[in-house]
Amino acid sequence: MAENKTNNAEVEATEAKTVEAPVVSEAQANPEKFLKEFNWHNYEEGIEEVGDKKLAEFEKLVSENFVDTLDDEVVEGEVIHITDRDAIIDINAKSEGAISLNEFRYNPDLKVGDKVEVLIDVREDATGQLVLSHRKARVIKAWDRVNKAHETGEIVNGFVKCRTKGGMIVDVFGIEAFLPGSQIDVKPIRDYDQYVNKTMEFKVVKINHEFKNIVVSHKALIEADIEEQKKEIIGQLEKGQVLEGIVKNITSYGVFIDLGGVDGLIHITDLSWSRINHPNEIVELDQKLNVVILDFDENKSRIQLGLKQLSKHPWEALGEDVKVGDKVKGKVVVIADYGAFVEVADGVEGLVHVSEMSWSTHLRSAQDFVEVGDEIEAVILTLDREDRKMSLGIKQLTPDPWTDITSKYPVGSKHTGIVRNFTNFGVFVELEEGIDGLIYISDLSWTKKIKHPSEFCNVGDKLDVVVLELDVEGRKLSLGHKQTEENPWDKYETEFAVGTSHTAAITEIVDKGATIDFNEDIVAFVPQRHLEKEDGSKLKKGEEAEFKIIEFNKEFKRVVASHTAVFREEEAKIVKQAVKKAEAQAAEAKPTLGDANDALQALKDKMDGKKK
């Protein structure tokens, strides 16, 4: 307290002396000299002029102590203060810079005194303060480090951020890089999520500077590690060698096994002695298996493995008591057009040919009888243990329908069958399963002239038939359909006897005459000269007239009629006598019908010539 009072007194004394002695300026004392020596530069510029020497010294101090804010270079700064929103950074410039705390989210432990890399974003804002960016500085430095790692092959650490299409997004030095799914591991990845939020080692394998893309690989590191193991394993491979492996991948055609850096393939046919539809019926992913080496190429890059070969072949385990004629049960595993394969024991299959599925002679597809997965019973027909082949039969479980054929279908018996098939010469009719008969085309109808059986009936139609012939040894039946009815020509032989008269209209005019329909069965032919009417004109199509039958042949279903003979009774009598004579001659000499017709025609021509 005493010292303070003493100091105050001294100050007051000093001030008192100053007031007592007023100062007179040099300009007032000597105006001329003042004006002559006055520094007009300082007056005009507002600052004191600095000498060149002092200016050089000042520039040297600035360059040594302050950063050049004109270059886009990353500089190191020090955190001198942290607010709620920003971090204040000193970079040895004229003023400090501010960086949003958002750029330090990766570093929640940021504190005053920490050294950080920054890039000058804005040299001076409205308040005269530097605006800095830590994020941009990190990116620039990160790209330098990434490029260096790519050039040198350096292993880098990365943080797996999330999944994306085809792979993962990885943070490497603050830059997002792409990790393809195929580059995560040497084995296929089934669960990508297990890698999210994990830090892993990577190798930079590709950089696209134009699009700022980075591709990294973890698989490349693993491959490098296992390459030596792979060489060692390949060098020791031998056929027949049994190794332990892990199921790496399952496809429709086989299973890939990891043998410790070397992959081998078990084809689907080498997985099991039994027939399977897909390998996942036998194995599952990541399963450990003992496998045997079956074969490999010269470079041993393709290794063929087997699993079923480690167990005894099922045919060798097949009981000696199994023999031809035994009944067996099994499951249908494969169906083809020609038959079905039935597994009667694990790995032991027999073929049921389609012809052995039914007694029916109409071979159909095996799918009409069985389906895959059906449990069926069959009889062993053949058995070859050496060639491991077995043929089976299903129809043998039921009696052969031909064993009592003579009692069931005697000649002359009538039955109803189903039309199963056509040929050019007839129709096959099934009387029951395994019993088929043939109706020749000539035995379909008494009256209709049929060129093809499809004109008479359809497949699937029911037909009444009569057994005409039976060949038990040849397993053949000859059937007839028309025989189920009376032959109408027996009745027509009387009704349309030679000399009988009938009234009808001309149906059609043809080259050598005309035709007339007496009914649905009888179509008679009228020769050209027998169309002449009494007045000398000829009958026309549609004109109705009376006709006399001048020829009737039941066997060949031939009827010839004449209109002229109606009014020429004398000629008709002569014609009738000529017909009888021709028939008598035919009975004795058995000439052909054409010869008889020619003789009859010659006689008629002769008679006509006499009339004329």
**Domain limits, the chain:** 65-138, 153-222, 236-310, 314-397, 401-484, 491-611
- Whether residue 429 is predicted with pLDDT greater than 80 in this model: the reply is yes
Q: Count CB neighbours of 598 within 10 A.
A: 13
Kindly state the average pLDDT of the residues 495-508.
87
Same fold, 236-310 and 401-484: yes
Q: What is the pLDDT of residue 3?
A: 46
**With 60 as the cut, is the pLDDT of residue 67 above it?**
no
The lowest-confidence range among 66-75, 122-131, 227-236 is: 66-75
Backbone angles phi, psi at 435, to 5 degrees: -115, 105
* Confidence band, pLDDT 50/70/90 cuts, at residue 129: low
The per-residue pLDDT for 543 is: 87
307 closest CA partner among 344, 351, 347: 347
Q: Reduced to 3 DSSP states, what percent helix, strand and coil does the chain have, rounded to the nearest 5?
A: 30, 35, 35
| For the ranges 7-11, 40-44, 523-527, the one whose mean pLDDT is highest | 523-527
**What pLDDT does 267 receive?**
93
Task: Domain 491-611: give its CATH code.
Answer: 2.40.50.140
The model's pLDDT over 242-287, given as tens digits with 9 standing for 90+, comes to: 889 999 889 999 999 988 778 889 999 899 888 888 999 899 988 9
Query: Residue 346 carries which side chain, given as an amino acid letter?
Result: D
For residue 2, pLDDT over 50 is answered with no
Residue in 247, 356, 353 with CA at minimum distance from that of residue 305: 247
Do 265 and 301 touch, CB atoms closer than 8 A? no
Query: What does the pLDDT look like over 517-541, one tens digit per residue?
Result: 888 778 899 998 888 887 888 888 8
Residues in CB range of 131: below 8 A, 6 or more apart:
97, 98, 120, 121, 122, 125
What average pLDDT does range 30-49 have in this prediction? Answer: 62
Average pLDDT, the chain: 79
CATH code of 401-484, in short, is 2.40.50.140
Least confident of 18-27, 201-210, 282-291, 430-439: 18-27
Task: Report which of residues 105 and 308 the model is more confident about.
Answer: 308
Q: How far apart are CA 544 and CA 503, in angstroms?
A: 7
CB of 110 within 8 A of CB of 104? yes
If you average pLDDT over residues 561-581, what whole number do you get?
A: 74
Q: Which of 252, 259, 231, 248 is nearest to 185 (CA)?
A: 248
Q: How confident is residue 370, by pLDDT bands cut at 50, 70 and 90?
A: confident
C-beta separation of 505 from 516 below 8 A: yes
Give the model's confidence band at 122: pLDDT under 50 very low, under 70 low, under 90 confident, else very high: low
pLDDT over 90 percentage in the chain: 8
Name the residue type at position 317.
A
Q: What is the pLDDT of residues 443-492, one digit of tens each?
A: 888 777 788 888 888 888 898 999 888 887 778 888 988 888 877 777 78
User: According to the model, what pLDDT value does residue 268 have?
Assistant: 92
Averaged over 219-230, what is the pLDDT? 74
d(CA 550, CA 600): 11
Residues for the chain: how many in total?
612
Q: What is the pLDDT at residue 18?
A: 45
Per-residue pLDDT band at 50 (split at 50, 70, 90): low
Homologous superfamily of 314-397: Nucleic acid-binding proteins (2.40.50.140)
CATH code: domain 236-310 is 2.40.50.140
- Give every CB contact of residue 389 below 8 A, 6+ residues apart in sequence: 351, 382, 383
156's tokens: 């880098």
For residues 563 and 552, give the distance between their C-alpha atoms in angstroms, rounded to a whole number. 16
Count the Cβ atoms, other than its own, within 10 Å of residue 499: 14
Orientation angle between helical segments 569-589 and 593-611, nearest 10 degrees: 150
Range among 3-17, 323-337, 554-568, 593-607 with highest mean pLDDT value:
323-337
pLDDT bucket at 309, cuts 50 / 70 / 90: confident
Q: Which residues of 261-291 are buried (b: 16+ CB within 10 A; e: fewer)?
A: bbbbbbebebbbbbeeeebeebbeeeeebeb
Q: How far apart are CA 429 and CA 464, in angstroms?
A: 10
pLDDT band at 11 (very low <50, low <70, confident <90, very high): very low
Structure tokens at 570: 């004398």
CATH homologous superfamily of domain 65-138? Nucleic acid-binding proteins (2.40.50.140)
Q: Which of 138-152, 393-407, 452-466, 587-601 has the lowest mean pLDDT?
A: 587-601
How far the first Cα of the chain sits from its last, in Å, is 188
* Phi–psi pair at 342, nearest 5 degrees: -115, 125
Q: How does residue 57 score in pLDDT terms, banded at 50, 70 and 90?
A: low
Please compute the mean of the pLDDT values over residues 494-499 and round it to a whole number: 84
Specify the DSSP element, H or E, that contains 35.
Answer: helix 31-37
Confidence of residue 589 (pLDDT cuts 50, 70, 90): low
Domain 153-222 bears CATH identifier 3.20.20.70: no
